[in-house]
Structure 1
Amino acid sequence: MSTVNKSRRSFLKSTLLTTGGLMLGFSWASAGAAAPVVVADAGAAASLGFNSYLSIAPDGIITIFSPNPELGQNIMTSFPMIVAEELDADWKKVKVVQAALDTKAFDRQVTGGSGAVPHSWKLLRNAGATARQMLVQAAAQQWGVPAEECTAADGFVVHTKTGNKLDYGALAEAAAKLPVPKDVKLKDRKDFKLIGKEVKNVANKDITTGKPLYGLDFHREGMVLAMLQRPPAFGTRIKSVDAAAAKAMPGIIDVVQFKNNVAVVGKSTWEIMKARKVLKVEYEKDGNTESSEDHAKLFSTLMDTGTATVRRKDGDVATAFAGAAKVLRAEYECPFISHSPMEPMNFFAHVREDGVELVGPTQTPALARTSVSKLLNIPEEKITVAITRLGGGFGRRLKADYVTEAAELSSIIKKPVKLIWSREDDMTGGSYRPAVRYRFEAALDAAGNMIGYKLRGVGINSGNPTREDNFPSGAVPNLLIDTVEHQSPITTGAWRAPITNFLAYAEQSFLDEVAQAAKKDPIQFRLDLLQKAKTAPVGAIKYDIDRMIGVTKLVAQKAGWGTKKGVSQGFSVYFSHRSYVAQVAEVVMKGGKPVVQKIYAASDCGEVVNLSGARQQVMGGIVDGLGHAMYSKLSFKDGAPQQNNFGNYRLIRMMEIPEIETHFVDNGIEPTGLGEPALPPTGGAVANAIQKATGKRIRKQPFIEDPVFSGKTQAAPAKKMKTA
């Protein structure tokens, strides 16, 4: 199995088209698209509306296009696995080609929202099954036997009665002369040989041997390098620049000021970094230069006096709370955090008179092209975007700011340039997970039933900091969810599992508080609510109740919920990006501090394509969720980020990662995505376990700042729930 990065046209020219064979063009636009067609030659292929190609060359090599950027979510392995399964191919003879941007050809050329496999599942299966049926038909004609007597397996077609067999390469050219079948039969999942099995990532060897895969690896003869000096604080602008000393440094080609940046252009990153340090740039205030102390005051003020936008309202909330036997109230808060991908932002741009060439790591190549087109007033059809492998993204590379910077600089200096961000640039000039504070209120009747629920989210540049239709909406007769928003000069954006990455922790932790006040087991409390949503729903139900119940029961069984001694268990379950994940965290006390010992996870993401990749996605999401809940925080002083590198911005360390046990629900439904759903439940499961171990409810991230981690106090007895 190998990977290649080529343009669409070069792919067409370099596959079987020069040697004969079978090439099918199939539409990636939707699962219900028109049937594939045989592509006869490069000219015909270029003029077709089809946007993806499955080729079988005479040597038996099978190649498909993969349009979505690869950042570690495993689609460059999963996509060909789906095709190879239906094709009954020899996995060793399959390769995948990373496609360049082509918005006319590809419908969803984006990596984000855990949507790549769900979007492409049916059409990839159909393409593989179509090719298989044509190969079987070609073999049957050659042997003069009914096609029903032939089967396909491991890259061969076999005549079951005589034992005759031919490999796909030998049949490809003959198959290409047959009409494409209109209806093909897909495999029964019980016959899957690849799907659901553990398959190594196709890029493992290239990654571990240091092959040039990433944007930072890209090199073009004659290009120059550049780094930008950006304002040190949000809400400031350049007042004056003295670049004389920098221009005199060895290897420096130019120093250019544009917009609110100063670009240092040179021959090597080391020379540029040294020259950038001697720049003399004076800044002045240009708007709000907010501090973290300001945000704390804003949260308190806006929570009570801000103009709220109602997101959902069911029943008579005021009456429910007025007549409640008990009312609970709690506030949870999360800070800004950095995306911190291993590979900082970078992009290559060459602005020429006849067009623009862009190369680099982006989750949204179409946005990159559109943004450059608008900036430079150049038609999109004159701009090409080649996609490298991404060294992490987590939502940061959904934006195109670093792409437009490179393109604008190239247009100014009239040279091809690769713009590189340092780690400090990436952390202090980036786009952060929004800071948010939530206030939850619950009304209980005398029997401990939750009859009222209120949630107010106050966010800083968060858009809508709630997910108003997620559980427990629909399970509570009287419910109000609203939001208040503050606009800030601090740039924010989607961070892995947007909004739910923190909201899930807050919601699930508060539900434990309610269960405790109702004197009910936390898992049974949620199951009872889900049963109410199923039998007597209130308003719209936009989550699958049975799937949520399924992962809840599965993780409880696997973790031995409530049966273990010597550990404190915490539970959490969440629905995001079409999938469901439930977790149980186990905490023990060591040296007076709570330590996360193990986390169990049960996931329902539909059909698991690659079991190895799925496990890694769940484990990676848990490590990401745990690390950021426990340790990460970005604070501000007069608009300036106070953390600028890993020396003062805390991430989880290897020795702090607990044992993780993963399980998957085998329900046979189509895949629903897995890149993000495992992260949101982790913080809640861990916080709930810590509460059981220490008696202390942590309502603010990062957890490490809470006194329970000082080691000065032993586990305290559970405190009585405060009521309002």
Structure 2
Amino acid sequence: MANLTKTNRRDFLKIAGTTAGGLFIGFNWSSCDSPKVQVLSDAEVLSQVHEFNAYLSISPTGDIVIYSPNPELGQNIITSFPMIVAEELDADWNKVRVFQAALDNEKYDRQLTGGSGAMPHSWERLRKAGATARHLLVAAAAEKLQVPATELTTEKGEIFHNGKKKFSYGEMVTDASKLTAPEEVSLKDPKDFKIIGTPVKNVKGKEIYTGQPLFGLDFYREGMVNAMITRPPFGMKIKSVDDSAARSVAGVSDVIVFNNKVAVIGESTWPLIKAKNKLRIEYEPDGTVESSFDHDRIFKELLESKDARVMRKDGDVETAFKNAAQVITSEYQCPFLSHSPMEPQNFFAHVKGDKVELIGPTQTPDRARMETSRLLDIPKENITVELTRLGGGFGRRLAADFVVEAAELSKMLDKPVKVTWSREDDMTGGAYRPAVRYRFQAALDDQGNMIGYKLRGVGINAGNSTRENNFPSGSVDNLLIENVEHKSPITTNAWRAPITNFLAYAEQSFLDEVALAAKKDPVKMRLDLLDRAKNNPVGEIHYDIDRMRGVIQTAAEKSNWGKNKDVMQGFSVYFSHRSYVAQVANIEMENGQPVLKKITAATDCGTVVHPTGANQQVRGGIVDGMGHAMFTNMTFENGLPKQKNFDTYRLIRMKEVPEIDVHYVDSGYDPTGLGEPALPPTGGAIANAIFAATGRRIRTQPFIEQKEFSDIKLQIKRT
């Protein structure tokens, strides 16, 4: 089988020249037959394709190849990025072909997917890439026509003079490629956008639904061996290994103990799974294991710790609470969570002397290269990284542990190796969302105004478990935010919308508790606090007050907040990753039982480049936020997770997704993040709606495991 992910220059030229001559190798994966190779025409045109910059090339036929540099894991950046380039180029979208770029630090900046930062980082760069190519094509046409470039216009890959077509882009590529690119180019006025803001189809849609080999698990290289690995419980090390039964499994060629792990090597994954189950491994403590994995006890102790780090302090907090007419105190807790991408971790590595080839799904290809370089003491310049499509990531693939496993084994075996994790490996091998507990306190005066606010966050391997400069900071005269971190052998890393994925739920639920105590409408109380922050700010303001106000008002308007006495509603709003999302959850009573009917979301993410993809991001974030708030938990015993597969690790089901109504607020800003911001507000909106309907306040996730929720038969229906 061919290397199905190779995207070097010759391969993409094979595609770029297909319309007017060129070698095209076509694979049909819509049946169970082996892929067929077709030679459609000769290869003469291959040498005639011209590369205008790192992002795009144009052939004499007018066919355009656009590279998407960032890893694609479902956020649809592989469609959105090319749309921006094509917009400024004035391309004919029907002639655009899109390819995933390999790692290239010389051509691309920030070639990673994480923190919802790809679009805000690349927006202007992508626009300039397309505009530069357009400038050169127009300049070449102007020179040929002997007219000023200002007299020429472009549309859908064609150049016009006085309204009459003169050239196609393809006719100008040779002349244009000889010109020097300008340092500065003019960009379009957003009112003139024709591609940006339109519902373009996913450029890989057909390949996805016909099952073509796009993902790391699909990758195959003739001559490679497969490997699966058994990893130790947290805080343990290998004492002894009995691999005799594993070696007897047909299809297993070797068993290797390395780096406190045991790898089984063979032809395919099925015999390796059977062999792994036959390993007899004895472990002993490595000196880092906790005396107890009783995290409730740890949280309680650290909430009283005198060693908390002050993250922000405004005013005289002690006096405010001493003089308060009323003090509200609540604690909220969240568990560890697995990232659980649909595609478990996997990677291919081939170490060939002082060179390494890496291929697979990673959110951070440069980290994969750098960690491989350090492990093998091979210069990073000698390591290539090619990206497959990622079957989800949610932050798990920011790490490179699964990459260096493949590289280390390839070096040891002197063979190309593909490492594949099972679902159980993925859930038990870390790294998880940190477990966190928060204590909130609010001081109210006799008019119900919040005059003091305290937050102490205690996180297990969470780093800073607070976001000290987020709302309501800046709107309260006296404020104290503290953080305590507990170190644990349980590995953690960024999980979709790091920290805010739970903090938003806790914070927004607590603000509703404050509103109830103050006898204020929850939405109006938040708007009043924003007015306070704008008109008389306390300390520095790190969020955009007007943008937050905009989504609050839009969500309230679109959901008919407070206007239907038969609908119990819960509100939540949050700022993360440069974007603002407000949500309202609607619960109605049917036959005496609460039914979650609808979630309305208002989002300000700046310019919406790709509406279809944006809608999926918002809806997906809400489903993710709802599912993990209500159902999902991960607990530990003696260093091992109790939940090892989806039979015990409860995820949301399709029938449990209510109607989701999505709206956008156009604040006139350039695009900001969208992959993560819709998740944080969801848990709070639902929890606040449950309280409005039942009077039960749920302060711990997942909801279904809490006594406050135990006798609530919450149903979920789509209207």
3-state SS of paired residue (1:568): strand
Distance 1:597 1:290 in 2: 44
Q: Closer, same or farther in 2 for the Cα pair 1:101/1:146, shift >3 Å?
A: closer
3-state SS of paired residue (1:562): coil
| Per-residue CA distance 1:521-573 (angstroms, 9 max, x = gap) | 10110000011111111111111111000111011111110012322111101
Distance 2:712 2:355 in 1: 65
| Per-residue CA distance 1:121-175 (angstroms, 9 max, x = gap) | 11211221222233233334444444333321112112235x2342211222232
Distance 2:143 2:259 in 1: 68
Matched, 1:123 2:125: yes
Q: How big is the shift at 1:520?
A: 0.6
Contact 2:67 2:101 in 1 (8 A): yes
Matched, 1:132 2:134: yes
Residues matched between the structures, number: 688
Distance 1:194 1:593 in 2: 47
> What amino acid does structure 1 have at the position aligned with 2:680?
P
Matched, 1:338 2:338: yes
Q: Closer, same or farther in 2 for the Cα pair 1:183/1:300, shift >3 Å?
A: closer
Q: How big is the shift at 1:406?
A: 1.1
Other-structure match for 1:191: 192
Q: How does 1:12-161 map to 2 (within 5 A)?
A: 52-161=54-163
Distance 2:252 2:513 in 1: 60
Matched, 1:177 2:155: no
Q: Closer, same or farther in 2 for the Cα pair 1:383/1:524, shift >3 Å?
A: same
3-state SS of paired residue (1:447): coil
Q: How does 1:521-560 map to 2 (within 5 A)?
A: 521-560=521-560
3-state SS of paired residue (1:164): strand
Distance 2:587 2:376 in 1: 55
3-state SS of paired residue (1:194): coil
Q: How big is the shift at 1:375?
A: 1.2
| Per-residue CA distance 1:21-68 (angstroms, 9 max, x = gap) | xxxxxxxxxxxxxxxxxxxx999999xxx9714222101111222211
Q: Closer, same or farther in 2 for the Cα pair 1:713/1:404, shift >3 Å?
A: closer
Contact 2:293 2:638 in 1 (8 A): no
Q: How big is the shift at 1:493?
A: 0.6
Other-structure match for 1:212: 213
Distance 2:472 2:79 in 1: 36
Other-structure match for 1:722: none
Contact 1:593 1:709 in 2 (8 A): no
Q: How does 1:570-649 map to 2 (within 5 A)?
A: 570-590=570-590, 593-649=593-649
Contact 2:140 2:175 in 1 (8 A): yes
3-state SS of paired residue (2:103): coil
Q: Which moved further from structure 2: 205-214 or 147-156?
A: 147-156
3-state SS of paired residue (2:294): helix
Other-structure match for 2:449: 449
Q: Closer, same or farther in 2 for the Cα pair 1:625/1:712, shift >3 Å?
A: closer
Q: How does 1:370-449 map to 2 (within 5 A)?
A: 370-449=370-449
Q: Closer, same or farther in 2 for the Cα pair 1:177/1:560, shift >3 Å?
A: same
Q: Which moved further from structure 2: 565-574 or 552-561?
A: 565-574
Q: Which moved further from structure 2: 58-67 or 165-174?
A: 165-174
3-state SS of paired residue (1:459): strand
Q: Closer, same or farther in 2 for the Cα pair 1:591/1:459, shift >3 Å?
A: farther
Distance 2:90 2:120 in 1: 21
Other-structure match for 2:701: 701
Distance 1:354 1:714 in 2: 60
> What amino acid does structure 1 have at the position aligned with 2:297?
K
Q: Closer, same or farther in 2 for the Cα pair 1:152/1:501, shift >3 Å?
A: same
Q: Which moved further from structure 2: 376-385 or 602-611?
A: 376-385
Q: Closer, same or farther in 2 for the Cα pair 1:659/1:156, shift >3 Å?
A: same
Q: Closer, same or farther in 2 for the Cα pair 1:175/1:5, shift >3 Å?
A: farther
Other-structure match for 2:566: 566
Distance 1:42 1:283 in 2: 60
Q: Closer, same or farther in 2 for the Cα pair 1:172/1:653, shift >3 Å?
A: same
Q: How big is the shift at 1:257?
A: 0.4
Q: Which moved further from structure 2: 608-617 or 174-183?
A: 174-183
Q: How big is the shift at 1:709?
A: 4.0
Q: Closer, same or farther in 2 for the Cα pair 1:211/1:13, shift >3 Å?
A: closer
Q: How big is the shift at 1:191?
A: 1.2
Distance 1:474 1:555 in 2: 23
3-state SS of paired residue (2:504): helix
3-state SS of paired residue (1:312): strand
Distance 1:714 1:252 in 2: 49
Q: How big is the shift at 1:292?
A: 8.1
> What amino acid does structure 2 have at the position aligned with 1:636?
F
3-state SS of paired residue (1:698): coil
Q: Closer, same or farther in 2 for the Cα pair 1:221/1:293, shift >3 Å?
A: closer
> What amino acid does structure 2 have at the position aligned with 1:223?
M
Distance 1:317 1:44 in 2: 67
Other-structure match for 2:321: 321
Distance 2:197 2:635 in 1: 43
Q: How big is the shift at 1:495?
A: 0.1
Q: Closer, same or farther in 2 for the Cα pair 1:614/1:13, shift >3 Å?
A: closer
Q: How big is the shift at 1:503?
A: 0.2
> What amino acid does structure 1 have at the position aligned with 2:393?
G
**Identity value in percent:** 64
Q: How big is the shift at 1:213?
A: 0.7
| Per-residue CA distance 1:475-509 (angstroms, 9 max, x = gap) | 10100000111111111110000000000000000
Q: How big is the shift at 1:107?
A: 1.8
Q: How big is the shift at 1:289?
A: 4.6
Contact 1:292 1:636 in 2 (8 A): no
Contact 2:49 2:59 in 1 (8 A): no
Distance 2:603 2:292 in 1: 37
